[in-house]
């Protein structure tokens, strides 16, 4: 089981896709992973290094997260 991240950076217009594996007990667990976005620690675009999480709304517009099996 894992998470799929699709990043659409507004600063440079790049499109990036990533997959990570996670060890979770149930499908509902992934909802808690995306509930809160930390805006203190920078999450950056892999291409131009622009900060994607200036606010939760900014992050949600540029990054989509889905669960994969």
State mean pLDDT over 13-31.
Answer: 73
Which residues make beta-bridge pairs with 10?
none
Strand order in the sheet with 15-21: 15-21, 2-8, 63-68
With H, G, I as helix, E, B as strand and everything else as coil, classify residue 33: helix
Structure tokens, 15: 């499109």
Mean pLDDT of the residues in the chain:
84
Structural domain containing residue 9: 2-68
Q: Please, are residues 53 and 65 in contact by the beta-carbon 8 Å criterion?
A: no
State mean pLDDT over 1-13.
Answer: 91
Alpha helices in the chain (DSSP H): 29-33, 56-62
Domain count, the chain: 1
């Amino acid at each position: 089981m894992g998470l799929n991240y699709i990043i659409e950076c507004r600063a440079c217009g790049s499109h990036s896709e990533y997959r990570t594996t996670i060890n979770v007990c149930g499908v509902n667990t992934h909802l808690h992973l995306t509930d809160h976005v930390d805006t203190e620690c920078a999450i950056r675009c892999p291409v131009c290094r622009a900060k994607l999480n200036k606010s939760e709304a900014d992050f949600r517009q540029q990054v989509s997260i889905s669960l994969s099996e």
